[in-house]
Structure 1
Amino acid sequence: MTKKRRSFSPEFKRDTASLVLDQNYSIPEACRSVDVGETALRRWVDQLRAERGGQTPTSKALTSEQQKIQELEARINRLEREKAILKKATALLMSDELERTR
């Protein structure tokens, strides 16, 4: 029988990592108090520290500012893809129009 993998919300990760960064818990103490593994908590602490330093994470952001940045970046990417599609469609329509006029 396999063990079910737990998942945690970004808010839980942020709050747990802030125990270490803001409330001076040691990592083992924080792990025992919230029942998570040390490796996971170390990753969350490193990620929160990086986000507070202004780095945009590659995984799901923990801070609200970084979450907003990720949403805006995703929107920009989508709009750029749509723009490229429209450019190609316009070029096809223009080439069809040129062929009709000849």
Structure 2
Amino acid sequence: MTKQRQHYETAFKLEVARMIVDQGLSVAQVVKDMNIGRTAINRWIKQYRAEQQGKSGIGKPLTAELQRIRQLEQENRQLRSDNDLLKKASAFFARELK
């Protein structure tokens, strides 16, 4: 039987990372107390530290600000794509009318 993958809320990941980085708890102690995989916690810490340095890091952002930035960037890409499509369509129809 395979082990089911756990999914944790972003706020929970952020809190665990803060406990280790800011409060100085050891990773081993958190792994033991909270029954969370060491690999997952190490990823959360890496992401948290990257975000603290102003970098985007890897994976889903932990802080609300970076989540909002990623959302706006995605929306911006979509709007640019839609705008390009509309420009091409209007050029096509302008040629057809001539």
The two structures share one fold, judged by TM-score above 0.5: yes
Q: In the TM superposition, what are the counterparts of 1:21-40 in structure 2 within 5 Å?
A: 21-40=21-40
| Offset from partner CA, 1:11-43 (integer Å, 9 cap, x none) | 111111111111100111111222111111011
Q: Any conservation in 2 of the 1:19–1:25 contact (CA below 8 Å)?
A: yes
* In 2: Cα distance, 1:57 partner to 1:81 partner: 25
Q: Which has the larger radius of gyration?
A: 1
* In 1: Cα distance, 2:52 partner to 2:65 partner: 9
- Pairwise CA RMSD: 1.0
Secondary structure of the residue aligned to 2:50 is helix
Secondary structure of the residue aligned to 2:28 is helix
Q: Flag as ranges the 4+ runs of structure 1 deviating above 3 A.
A: none
Q: Any conservation in 1 of the 2:46–2:57 contact (CA below 8 Å)?
A: no
Q: How many residues align?
A: 98
Letter in 2 for 1:32: K
Secondary structure of the residue aligned to 1:73 is helix
| Greater Cα shift, 51-60 or 67-76 | 51-60
Q: How many Å apart are 1:57 and its aligned residue?
A: 3.3
Quote the residue 2:80 is aligned against. Answer: 80
Secondary structure of the residue aligned to 2:80 is helix
| Offset from partner CA, 1:38-88 (integer Å, 9 cap, x none) | 111011001000011111234211001100110110110110111111011
Q: TM-score, normalised by structure 1?
A: 0.90
Letter in 2 for 1:24: G
Q: Quick check: 1:89 aligned with 2:89?
A: yes
Quote the residue 2:45 is aligned against. Answer: 45
Structure 1: gaps (5+ residues): none
Letter in 2 for 1:42: N
